[in-house]
Structure 1
Amino acid sequence: MNQTSRDNFAAGPDDDDSPVGIIALWQLLWRNKQRILIPAFGLAFLTGLLVLRSDDTYTAEAQILLTRGNLEIVEFDSAGDIEVSPGAITNALTILGSRSIALGVIDRVDLTNDPEINPNLLLPDDADPEEFYPENVVRQLALDWLAAYAQANILPGSNAILIRVTTTGPGKSAAIANAYVDEYLEYQVRSGQNETKRAAVALETRVNELRLQLEEDQQRLQSFRGGAVSSVLDSSDALMGEAVDIRARLASTENALIVTDAAIAALTAVDDAGSETLSELIAQNEILSRLQRSTLGRSINTDSFDQDIQAIESALQDERARLVRLRDALTDGRTAIEARIAEVNAFTVGLRQLEVEVETTSQVYESSLARLKELSIQTGLRDAGAQVLARAEAPLRTDAQGRRRMVAIAGFLGLFFGIAYVLLREAANDRVRKVSELVDITGSDCVVQLPPAHPGVLGRGMLAGFGQSKRKAAPFKEGMRSLRHKLIARAGRTSGPLIAGIFSSLPTEGKSTVTQGLASSFTMIDRRVIVVDGDMRAGTLSKTLGVAPDQPGLQNVIVEKFDLSKAIVSLSEQGFDLLPSGQSDMNPADLLESDRFGELIMTLRERYDVVLFDTPPVLVLPDAVKIAVHLNAHVLVADYDRSPRAAVRDTVAALQEVDVEHLVVAFCNAPKAFGQKYGFSDQAYAEYWN
């Protein structure tokens, strides 16, 4: 069975915690829960303070049911119709929000004498209100106040209108809501009556016009009928019969004329033939035979052949001339009869048209007259087109629910802002969050992940003390053991005691806490340990460990050649010694370059097994780089999600300038460090390792 040394647990797999997917997003939000909850609670708290400081409000409601289209002229028998068009609903809401209704409400409730609205009532008795707020300004203030605190809305899926008024007085809210109801109903009644009257006046004018037009049309009809000739009206059928007879005779005459012309042509064609041929032609042609009998009374003789032919031809020409005269006469007669028929038809059509016009005008006149009578009745019966469903009553409780809703909304807005801030911060994040990033930046193959020393209320507790419970300190102490193991392995390559410095790029990255924890960890394996507070400008570690501000220390030993034994403070509770930062007027950077500082380090090497230097931030002051020259081990502290990548990179470059090659990197506050994957509770984990 393969086992892994617990010193290697800190260098486990480099989990990529990039915000990809729902689970990763939830982990991101959970890690930043303080940044999300603080604005939510803060905004809710501020909103609660503002709400509590405001006056109590009361909301009264009244309801109106629309029963028909308002401002519309309706039939007399449809006054009770409850069907309301969308246009009528829109008109009702527009009327309720109009200036005229609001002015009526102001006068009805006497809002101009309300101190909440009229600032003149708060003036001294000897002041002239017209000099401050004239009457028109006060009424405008009342209009603006009503627009802000009174609302009218249609209830979804119904014809009911809800009027809601919110004021600081229950009675005032109910009075204003009921005033809106009464003012609306009266306005609709007045408007309906006025509209009906206007329609009646317009219709009366139209009725008079129709009456005059009807009289004029009837007179025209009588005149037209009186001017007609009775014979024209009576002979219409006879004319039609005569026209038919003439057309038949004309057709017969034209046919006879055609036959006569054919006979003339045939006779002319055989004029030079013999008597036998001519006799045969006459015998075959009916009209020639008839003319022979009527003209000659006998057959054609050979002796008088020429005279007989001439006689027949002459009779044939006479017959043709007679037929032409008859045709022309019949044609003239037909034309005259057709003209008379057209005259009769035109008269008949005109007469019928006049009769239709008179009948139509009479019907329109009678209908308009009946409608005028109905409108005259409706003028006295016109209603508001609406009924009151519920009048407003003075509310018994304040609008506390609305205040709670405002606080809740403010809390949700705070959560939204907090989440937005976290996501924006995540999008623009340039800070160290993964072990792989530290490896790439520092070039170190030794990165130790350290959990928080104490989670604390705000989640980041690297500056917490070490006198805490066994259960809470166990994960951090185990991380210190891993860091100690790495340092011992590094120092094993050189002879002599371990002289290590703890460095950081910027302040508040956990450097002093790591120094203190590492010193405590070395004491657990019976090492003589001294911690030197090399941050001579701030002295953070000395203050954290409770050293008096006037206690001599590092600066006193270097400048004044103060007795080292008297400057060292023994911390029996922690198990290690401390050389505080001390006090001096000289610049700490100059002190660190003196020979006295090198001699001090040699003295400490002879007395202790482990010497730990707590240094100032590398990128802030040059002191840390000057200390690094004298050390044989170097620990670079980087704080999870706080140390900028560029700052860590510049720190490594600064240390490399003084030949610092092998760095042990302490990754503080790592969320997936010791104990996070073993399934133990905090207490079980502490008992397991201790």
Structure 2
Amino acid sequence: MLSLWRILWGSKWRIGLTVLCFMFLGFFLTGSRDRTYTAESLLILEDNSASMSSALSRDNSAYANPATAVEVFGARPVIEDVVAQLSLEEDPEFNPFLPREETEPSRLALVIEGLRTRVFGPVEEAEPVDLGADYVSQEVVARVQESVRFLVPPQTSLIHVQATTFDPEKSALLANAVAEAFLNDALRSRLDSVDRVVAQLGDRLVNLRQDFREKEQALQAMKNEAEVVDPTTLRSMATEVTRLKDRREALAQELLTALRLEAEVKDLEGLQASAQAARIAQVPGLQVLRDAVGPDTDNMLAEIQTRRERAQEQSSKLSSSISALEERLTAHSERLLQFNQLEREVEASNEIYEFSQRRLNELSVQADVETAGGRIVFSAHSPQRGNSRGRLRTMLILGFLGMISAVTWILIKQANDQTIRTPSDLKVLLPQAKVVSVPKVPMKGLPFNRKLNLSLLLTTRSTEFSKGIRRLRTTLLSGAPADKSMAVHVASDLVGVGKSLVTLALARSLSYVDKKVLIIIADERGVGVMRLLQGSQVQTGLESVLLGGEDLDNAVIRQKQLGVDLLLNTQEHRTPADLLELDSFKDLLETALQRYDIVLIDTAPVLAAPDAQQVARYVDKTLFVTGCSVSSSDSIEVSLGELFQKGLGSQDVVALYGADGDPQNRQAHYKQKLGVL
């Protein structure tokens, strides 16, 4: 997240400029439009409590729901009525196939039209095309639908009808016409619904009357066909059936008793008289039978047979009587049920018939007083002020799109960027080199108005840039004898990586540790740095010493603010590449090392001029400056290959200018920026 924020914060001016350009584009686009006017009328829906359309039908109140009403508002039939009422087919605003009225455009519209004509040429007038009346009517209705809006406040029955046109009076007429057309359509719909319901009720009433008569006739016929037994008689018959069944059960018990006595009597035949008397005394039934017919077993068997036959005959007669009574009881019960059901159906049909007749009478009366289910609270009036043309909204939307586009472009550019951006990248490319990161000089102001000022190098305030220069100074002085002068070649791969700036800052830092420093500026492209230090073009310099035999002390310039001496390039007759190949340059360097502790030689970029290759032969160390997000791995490898045939030496240093400083400080810095936003 912090890495992404660092990338976007570094490109904040580009993002801001892109957003401003898009917003300015939105300002121009909205300025070229004609001013529109919006009129509004307010409509309230009123649901009738006795809605005729809900009587015996599935049609509820058509416009009780505002959302449903809005759908009806925008329906084509309603808009067609409005188009016919206001003759909008003859209006060029809604009929694009008619010639528009000539209006005086605004100055901004004239400017935009002039730019469009200059870029794309004049617009050719299209030949008239004969279109059908239906197509033209559909197009007019569609444009009217686009110019009308309906707003429904939540949980209310209010509907705001808004119409937007280029004419304030036309907007008011259109809003009122749409509201009135809706009420007329609603009233017409309700009346049509009443007619349908009345017709349905009439047909149903005829069917009910016929059904009632048929059932009444069937009830009378049933009364005439057979006698209908009342429920009391049915209950008496059921009681008699129950009594007969109980009697039949008693006879069945008598038969069982007779069979047992018959078996007992047969057992007595093989016994003696004393045993028979004892057995008869034990069985009560045998004792009663003996008293009745005597002790003879044959007489006993005959009596038992007579009793059994008599019980069987009585049981058979009882079964026949019970079956007959049950059949009569079932038949009378079914007849009574049918009769009761038919009576209830006749009563229900009579009630439905009477209700339908009353409802039909009510609907016939109510049809004369039916309303449209709504009314206009207030009508639209001609607006005095035009709309804002959506300028602010358009500018905000385009500004947001501009920000998204700029961020996307920056991220894509960063993803495809093959340049060196961190000291780790440089360390991977040059594993044996001494790599030092030097952050950028903190300069304020707009990106296009930032200028290098000498005060930025003279400040005593501790910055990430000054810390990086101190690290570079320590690395450069490490391993060098304290009592020996040192010549340092400052080179770079490309133009604009900050080589000369690092040279000046390093020289000032060396002066802080009591080092006498001479800077030989042999870069012919360093005119800006020369003016920064001197203020004007010098007359004597490197060329005067090498060609004219000028003494070094007379040619150098003492920069008191930086605390260093400068030998500048005058560029009078020869280029630095020619001067650095002279043998006198070697003599100059030896003389300078006798008078100064450190001599910094600032040459042109390796890929721009061959100056650096000549100087590399005479120096003790080389400081190779690369630019963060400027130098690539290819440019560094090619430059070092041309500068050193055997590669970097153990004493050479590579500086990455523009890289971030200490990671902890960098993280805290961007967290602070992010927290402020």
1:247 matched to which residue of 2? 245
- Within the candidate set 68, 71, 82, 1:105 is matched to 82
Does the CA contact (< 8 Å) of 1:490 and 1:633 recur in 2?
no
How far 1:215 sits from its partner (Å)? 1.2
Equivalent in the alignment of 1:303: none
Relative to 1, partners in 2 of residues 1:614 and 1:542: Cα closer, same or farther, differing over 3 Å? farther
Distance in structure 2 (CA, Å) of the matches to 1:509 and 1:281? 147
Choose the corresponding residue for 2:395, options 404, 407, 432. 407
Structure 2 counterpart of 1:410, one-letter code: L
Secondary structure (helix, strand or coil) at the match of 1:197 reads helix
Which residue number corresponds to residue 447 of structure 1? 436
Q: 1:531 aligned to 2:521?
A: yes
2:600, 2:34 → 1: CA distance?
Answer: 67
TM-score scaled by length of structure 1: 0.71
Query: 2:661 matched to 1:668?
Result: no
Secondary structure, counterpart of 2:27 in structure 1: helix
Counterpart mapping for 1:173-188 below 5 A? 173-188=171-186
Aligned to 2:605: 616
Please tell me whether the aligned partners of residues 228 and 336 of structure 2 are also in contact (alpha carbons under 8 angstroms): no
How far residue 356 of structure 1 moved from its aligned partner, in angstroms, is 2.0
Residue type of the alignment partner of 1:119: P
Evaluate the alpha carbon distance shift between residue 596 and residue 650 of structure 1 in structure 2; reply closer, same or farther with a 3 A threshold.
Answer: closer
1:562-584 CA deviation, whole Å, 9 max, x = no partner?
Answer: 9798xxx9898988554466899
8 Å CA contact 1:542–1:580 kept in 2: the answer is no
Q: Does the residue aligned with 1:122 lie in a helix, a strand or coil?
A: coil
Counterpart in the other structure of 1:602: 586
Match of 2:116 in 1: none
User: In the TM superposition, what is the alpha-carbon distance from 1:228 to its structure 2 partner?
Assistant: 0.5
> What per-residue deviation string (whole Å, max 9, x for no partner) do you get for residues 574-633 of structure 1?
88554466899xxx9xx96x9982436336547867573431353x67665465445444
Amino acid corresponding to residue 166 of structure 1 in structure 2: T
- Aligned residue runs from structure 1 range 138-157, under 5 A: 138-157=136-155
Q: Please identify, of 340-349 and 257-266, the stretch whose mean Cα deviation from structure 2 is larger.
A: 257-266
CA contact (8 A) 2:419 2:630 kept: yes
Offset of 1:255 from its aligned partner? Answer: 3.4
Q: Secondary structure at the match of 2:495?
A: coil
Q: Residues 615 and 624 of structure 1 are in contact (CA less than 8 Å); yes or no, is this contact kept in structure 2?
A: yes
Q: 1:458 aligns with which of 404, 427, 447?
A: 447
Alpha-carbon distance between aligned partners in 1 of 2:300 and 2:589, rounded to the nearest angstrom? 178
C-alpha deviation, 1:500, in angstroms: 5.0
Distance 1:427 1:138 in 2: 53
Query: In the aligned structure 1, how far is the partner of 2:267 from the partner of 2:465?
Result: 154
Letter in 2 for 1:258: L
The corresponding residue for 1:386 is 374
CA displacement 1:611-668 (0-9 Å, x = unmatched) = 73431353x6766546544544433223344434664465445544255424344443
What residue is the counterpart of 1:263 in the other structure? 261
| Greater mean alpha carbon deviation, residues 603-612 or residues 51-60 | 603-612
1:604–1:611 CA contact under 8 A, matched in 2: no
Go from structure 1 to structure 2 and tell me whether the alpha carbon gap of 1:27 and 1:596 turns closer, same or farther (over 3 Å shift). closer
- In the alignment, is the contact (CA less than 8 A) between 1:185 and 1:386 conserved in 2? yes
Q: Secondary structure at the match of 2:581?
A: helix
Which piece of structure 1 moves more, 347-356 or 241-250? 241-250
Letter in 1 for 2:35: D
Equivalents in 2 of 1:245, 1:153: separation in Å? 84
| 1:52 matches 2:31 | yes
Counterpart Cα distance in 1 of 2:328 and 2:475 = 139
1:451–1:669 Cα contact (<8 Å) kept = yes
Letter in 1 for 2:99: L
Alignment partner, residue 625 of structure 2 = 637
**2:314 is aligned with 1:326:** yes
Deviation by residue 1:79-105 (Cα, 9 ceiling, x = unmatched): xx99998xx344223222322233233
**1:276-297 Cα shifts (integer Å, max 9, x gaps):** 66677778878777777777xx
Q: One-letter code of the match for 1:212?
A: Q
Task: Return the offset for 1:312.
Answer: 4.8
Distance of aligned partners of 1:483 and 1:460 in 2 relative to their CA distance in 1, 3 Å threshold: farther
Give SS of 2:390's match.
helix
Q: How does 1:510-589 map to 2 (within 5 A)?
A: 510-511=498-499, 513-514=501-502, 530-533=520-523, 576=566, 578-579=568-569
CA distance change for structure 1 residues 69 and 664 in 2, over 3 Å: closer, same or farther?
A: farther
Alignment partner of 1:222 is 2:252: no
SS of corresponding position for 2:447? coil
CA distance in structure 2 between the aligned counterparts of 1:510 and 1:219, rounded to whole angstroms: 119
C-alpha separation in 2, matches of 1:379 and 1:129: 55
CA change 1:385–1:562 in 2 (3 A) is farther
Name the counterpart of 2:196: 198
CA RMSD of aligned residues (A): 5.3
Contact 1:35-1:418 at 8 Å conserved across structures: yes
Q: Matches of 2:315 and 2:199 in 1, distance apart?
A: 70
1:16 corresponds to = none
CA distance in 1, matches of 2:12, 2:5: 10
Instruction: Provide the C-alpha distance between the structure 2 equivalents of 1:71 and 1:641, rounded to a whole number of angstroms.
Output: 81
Deviation track 1:174-206 (CA, whole Å, cap 9, x = no partner) reads 333333222222222211221222222223222
Q: 1:93 corresponds to which letter in structure 2?
A: V
Maintained 8 Å contact 1:539/1:581: no
Question: Following superposition of structure 1 onto structure 2, how do residues 355-434 of structure 1 map, counting pairs within 5 Å?
Answer: 355-400=343-388, 402-421=390-409, 431-434=419-422
Q: Deviations over 1:365-390 (max 9, x none)?
A: 23333333333334333333334344
Runs of at least 5 residues in structure 2 that lack an aligned partner in the other structure:
103-124, 560-564, 594-598, 667-677
Spell out the pairing of 1:306-325 with structure 2 (5 A cutoff).
309-325=297-313
Give the 3-state SS of the residue equivalent to 1:388 in structure 2. strand
Q: Is the 8 A contact 2:53 2:194 kept in 1?
A: no
Letter in 2 for 1:599: D
| CA distance, structure 1, for counterparts of residue 199 and residue 74 of structure 2 | 30
Cross-structure match for 1:13: none
Against the structure 1 CA distance between its residues 124 and 414, is the aligned structure 2 distance closer, same or farther, given a 3 Å change threshold?
closer
- 1:171 and 1:615 map into 2 onto residues whose CA distance is 75
In the TM superposition, what whole-angstrom CA distance separates every residue of 1:3-25 from its partner, at most 9, and x where no partner exists?
xxxxxxxxxxxxxxxx54xxx76
Q: Is 374-383 or 231-240 further displaced after alignment?
A: 231-240
Q: Could you tell me whether the CA contact under 8 Å between 1:498 and 1:632 is conserved in 2? A: yes
Deviation digits for residues 105-151 of structure 1 (CA, Å, limit 9, x no counterpart):
323333322222323331899x9998444433332332332343333
The match for 1:91 among 65, 68, 77 is 68
Which residue identity does 2:308 align to in structure 1? R
Give the C-alpha shift of residue 458 in structure 1: 0.7
Q: CA offsets per residue over residues 510-553 of structure 1, 9 Å max, x none? A: 33555677799999998775422356xx999899999999x9x9
C-alpha distance in 1 between matches for 2:300 and 2:471: 161
Q: Secondary structure at the match of 1:393?
A: coil
SS in structure 2 of the partner of residue 162 of structure 1: strand
* Cα pair 2:51 2:61 within 8 Å, conserved: no
